[in-house]
Amino acid sequence: KPGEQKHPKEPSSLQCMHLAVVACGDRLEETLIMLKSAVLFSNRRLCFHIFAEDSLKPEFEKKAMSDSSPCVFQLKEWPSSYTKKFESNIYPITFSVGNAQEWKKLFKPCAAQRLFLPVILKDVDSLLYVDTDVLFLRPIDDIWHILGEFNSTQLAAMAPEHEIPKIGWYSRFARHPYYGTTGLNSGVMLMNLTRIRSTHFKNSMIPGGLTWEEMLYPLYQKYKNHITWGDQDLLNIIFYFNPECLYVFPCQWNYRPDHCMYGSNCRGAEEEGVSILHGNRGVYHDDKQPTFKALYEVIRDFPFEDNLFQSLYYPLQSKFLDTVHTLCGRIPQVFLKQIEKTMKKVYENRVIVYLGANHRY
């Protein structure tokens, strides 16, 4: 009716959990296995935002299978019982400010794209960004709930780069400001994009604050001769000047080889198990950390419609027996605890549904 106020639709971020990834070069299979792990264990509907260079875009959806494993299906090949749990959008690699070629070459191919997610995904309220070499070992729902734990100034969450300053990279070698005592790892980053877009950030360039988009390129220009890890270093610089904006994850939400290859130093994982596995250093594809490689291969090879205990949990236990000679392999319970807990919940829910449907009074 004329003059009647229209109520806006419920934000899409309330309807599903948004997950973003940037895939370039040879990262197609890693990305598909990461997305597979997300769908296997999560409960609520997922919205995938896949940023891919032009040559990879058709690879995500075409009808084809990887030569390396019969279970690495492209997204449209997944069984309907899984495809109904998510929707996917594929975007080109774009940079809204500065020189695109500089951004592309900043660190790993296209990795700097993550810095521009608040600018590109204008209609998304909140988002979980992960690197391609991440595996979910429990529902995304659990990390998504952390958004509700943000205080009034926090707008992003990341885990420390290391737990022990004396062996951390930033505390020993960094030539630029970084967050806290050991810096941050940006491979798993939970973001309230609405807050990021509306905040003016303190910085080392002008006395007043700058918006996220205004800040990115000048920040890069100022520190480009001092950064080693590209966009991760820029994020460390941003949160050095704006520490009140950051929520710090415990290490089990971004568990890397560094947490076990020098001896176990992630207490949260020892107590609760690994929640998100981050196989950086290329450990899924070499034999330096066979425990990480075993997890990747078992999730990769899991037949979608098969039994989780039979075709995922038991093969993992078997493969882990061959890794006990390594420092990471000596603590298999750390890697299995959350998977076991998640699978038990899945089967308990199925039993309740089954009994409810068949109960007779």
Q: What is the 3-state secondary structure (H, E, C) of 67-86?
A: CCCCCCECHHHCCHHHHCCE
Percent of the chain surpassing pLDDT 90: 60
Span(s) in the chain for CATH 3.90.550.10: 17-249
Spatial distance between the Cα atoms of 292 and 288, rounded to a whole number of angstroms: 9
* Type of residue at 188: V
pLDDT in tens, 94-105: 887 766 667 766
Q: Which helix (H) or strand (E) holds 91?
A: strand 86-91
Spatial distance between the Cα atoms of 255 and 188, rounded to a whole number of angstroms: 10
What is the pTM for the complete model shown? 0.89
pLDDT in tens, 314-361: 999 999 999 999 999 999 999 999 999 988 887 776 666 555 555 544
User: CB within 8 A of 23, min separation 6: which ones?
Assistant: 30, 31, 50, 51, 52, 53, 56, 60, 110, 132
Q: Is residue 278 scored above 90 in pLDDT?
A: yes
Q: Is residue 24 scored above 50 in pLDDT?
A: yes
Q: What is the DSSP letter of 263?
A: B
pLDDT in tens, 33-90: 999 999 999 999 999 999 998 888 888 876 544 444 545 668 888 899 899 999 999 9
Pick from 74, 43, 44: which is nearest to 56 by CA?
74
Neighbours of 298 (CB within 10 A): 21
Give the chain's mean pLDDT: 86
Topology of domain 17-249, CATH = Spore Coat Polysaccharide Biosynthesis Protein SpsA; Chain A (3.90.550)
